[in-house]
Chain A
Amino acid sequence: MPSNLSSDVIIVGTGVVGCLIAEQALDAGFSVLMLEAGPRVSRDTIVENYRNLPPRLRNHWNAPYPPKPWAPHLETRTESEGASYLDLIGPNAKAYEQGYVRYAGGATWHWAGICWRMTPDDLRLKSLYGVGRDWAFSYDVLEPYYARAEHAMGVCGPRDPALQWPPNTTRSRPYPMGPIPFGPGEQRLTDVAATIGMQNLPAPQARNSGVSFDGRPPCCGNNNCFPVCPIAAKYDAATALPRIEAKGGKIITNAVAYRVETNSQKKIEAIHYFDPNKTSHSVSGKIFVLACNGIETPKLLLLSANEKNPHGVANSSDQVGRNMMDQPKLVADVEMTEPLWTGVGPVQSSSIMNTSQGDFRRDYAGAMFRMENMARSTLGGLAALEKGLYGKALDQEIRRLSACTARLTVEHEPLPLSFNRLTLSDKKDWLGLSRPRIYYDVGDYVRRSATQYTVPLLKKLAIALGATDIKISPEFLHSDHIMGGTIMGNDPVDSVVDADCRAHDHDNLFLPGGGAMTTGGSGNSTITMAALAIKAADAIVGQLNHG
């Protein structure tokens, strides 16, 4: 039977952005209702799904998360699965195979936990280098929200300012926990990188270091941050959901939002959603937050087009769905004579960031370099078996291939380019809703960087590590950092949301998260998304308090 529930704050999406806003609104005394398209699944179920995968599928991070028919997401185990949801086109379509899951808790289930802040220069690309856009505010405005986000999520990081990022800036609060120790692989990378002028920094990461934090245990080096931390030492939004309910928040799962309804005063009145029986329901409220990630949020706005909003809700600028960004990634699989030994500690725990900054950004993109620290024993084992070995030779080859190989990656900063655009596909999903169609071209700024800057540097780093064989990916890949589709700016003519992630067109609609990011930088996007969520939450609470 159709229902019509009401709440002060309606939030679509239960990932990190939705959860941070929900808690802040609840703490301020307002009622909160959250809609989640996918199911709510326990951690042990996901861990069991992972362990029951055949080993060749264990590197497909979405494989332990089978989607429900009504809430599809990208799957990558086969080519046909890969084409079954996202309708990707353009010269770099493969670089937009975004790996988010539509489960309660969102993509935080299988994020790496890495929390690089953007730098002051990252927010002023247009002013400094004549490319991209400037943000609506400076780093000084964002810094306190970064600090609050680090404490809300439990981010550990180095105490030594020389090892902190961004350099030469002031932090308003220290990290709540000290750094996580390096294993042999990351220490070796750090030592080698230093010999060629590359500084491998211990990553700030939302992982409990040495102590419990926020009711979650300390990291015990399970080396499985993606696809799932088995002990919840890494922040994931799933751990916030019971707390939100304990504070009075209501969460409706398997509720696929498909229309945002506006009234004649251009206010949002309701969100309509389908349940798994294809029955339509609606929820009404005072403030509405769409936080269902950088693809689903613009898709929902475009799906809501009608006579009052002919181009979609919040889209008088025609910028909804444009400027889609991610850091185009290249990987180098290297083989060495000496053992490196990844697989000790978290799957990612460090990155080279000083390569992301500099005057060269007038001409080409900056980039972050890092090494995957996942245990390579699955890959080594399967590769050695493929060779038809047995006995002692098999054991020796598994050990060699596991210890003496590595994957280096370089992630390039993207520019907001209006032609990189999400539209509605004529292909429909199980509910009959249009699937997202995304055109993606990494652009000349990134291509020039790869040719002139990053690939030569990647090879130099690999050789310094003692590589005897280097295989670089032939095309750009995705980093799973979805940004730009509801871009922020001060001018309603060329942007979707204001500095608080409030839609220019509708003052009770907030679109926080990656979609609001004006530029992408080279680092992982989550901590910036979280900072924007907290800034938006301040505005939401303020707006509710003042009627």
Chain B
Amino acid sequence: MRSPCTKLKINRRRLLLGMSALATAASFAQSRGLAESSGPPSLTDPVSHFMFVSRVLVPHELDRSVGHRIHGAFSDVEEDFDNKIKELQDLIIKTSPVDVEHFMPTLTDIKQKNTAMKIISAWYSGVVNGKSKDHTIGFESSLMYKVTNDVMTIPSYAKSAPNGWNSTAVSLLNMPSF
């Protein structure tokens, strides 16, 4: 398992690389790690902006294809969603938070905070709530299942080989890395 310190360093590195990428086109070439893992945050690609913001809000490995679906669902149900993302992105660039715990308290605008919480909720629950219906984005990719996946089955997915489980109870402190 990666240590929290290592994860924090990666987050900061990604954040800095992302900010750099947004600042100048030249920096795209220097940020190949981010580009390879999540696509270059181009000024014209709204999903890249969404992923950039998501990586600050959700401190885990995020699948861009899932992000693409979440972004698409929000674009359907939220008015002016890309501008809301732009506002959050600008704030991130301005405040350079080291993690979500430092970033959320800087959101004094309730609308911005609501947008941030909706994005977090979508990654964890796999659903984007619309006015008339819910948009299910994913099932096994929902992060709420990964928090307990060291012990609990993701419902409908196999736990193990036949009768391969046991009654060992693990500590709450052994948080999986994902």
Contact = CB atoms under 8 A, between A and B. Distances in A.
Interface of A: 47, 50-56, 58, 180-184, 186-188, 208-211, 217-224, 228, 230-231, 339-345, 374-378, 380-382, 384-385, 388, 390-396, 398-400, 402-404
6 contacts: A219-B163, A377-B144, A390-B100, A396-B175, A400-B172, A403-B152
A382 B100 CA distance: 19
B158 A222 contact: yes
B163 A218 contact: yes
Contact of A381 (B145, B165, B169, B172): B145
Interface stretch (B47-55, B87-95, B134-142): B134-142
Contacts of B125: 55, 381-382, 385
A179 to B, nearest CB: 9
B120 A403 contact: no
Given A184-B151, A390-B117, A403 B168 contact: no
Question: Chain A at the B interface: mostly helix, strand, loop or mixed?
Answer: loop
Most buried by B among A50, A52, A221: A221
B6 interface: no
Contacts, number: 169
Contacts of B142: 55, 381
List 5 tightest A-B contacts by C-beta distance, closest first: A381-B144, A221-B159, A187-B167, A218-B162, A343-B152
Contact of A211 (B156, B162, B166): B162
B120 A394 contact: yes
B132 interface: no
Given A51-B156, A377-B147, 15 more contacts: A53-B136, A180-B163, A183-B166, A222-B153, A222-B157, A222-B158, A342-B152, A343-B153, A344-B152, A345-B165, A375-B155, A382-B144, A384-B144, A391-B104, A404-B172
Contacts of A343: 148, 151-153, 155
A375 B151 CA distance: 10
A222 B153 CA distance: 7
Contact of B136 (A54, A219, A340): A54
Contacts of B160: 220-221
A344 B59 contact: no
A193 to B, nearest CB: 14
B172 A403 contact: yes
A419 B62 CA distance: 59
B112 interface: no
B170 interface: yes
B162 A182 contact: no
A212 B154 CA distance: 23
Given A224-B155, A378-B155, A381-B144, A209 B169 contact: no
A390 B164 contact: no
B126 A339 contact: no
A181 B152 contact: no
B153 A402 contact: no
A347 to B, nearest CB: 9
B99 interface: yes
Most buried by B among A208, A211, A398: A398
B38 interface: no
A344 B153 contact: yes
Given A222-B158, A375-B153, A380 B148 contact: yes
B10 to A, nearest CB: 15
Contacts of A186: 167
Given A377-B145, A390-B120, A55 B153 contact: no
Contacts of B139: 51-52
Given A339-B172, A385-B121, A403-B172, A55 B126 contact: yes
A78 to B, nearest CB: 13
B158 A221 contact: yes
Contacts of A380: 144, 148
A398 B144 contact: yes
A52 B134 CA distance: 10
Contacts of A209: 162-163
Nearest to A389: B120
Given A209-B163, A391-B100, A403 B153 contact: no
B3 to A, nearest CB: 13
A398 to B, nearest CB: 4
Nearest to B168: A184
Nearest to B157: A222
Interface string B119-136: 011001111010000101
A28 to B, nearest CB: 34
B161 interface: yes
B46 to A, nearest CB: 23
Nearest to B161: A220
B159 A345 contact: yes
Given A220-B161, A341-B152, A385-B124, A398 B167 contact: no
B63 interface: no
Nearest to A58: B155
B78 interface: no
A70 B163 CA distance: 41
B59 A391 contact: yes
B76 interface: no
A398 B155 contact: no
Contacts of A404: 172
B57 interface: yes
Contact of B124 (A58, A187, A381, A393): A381
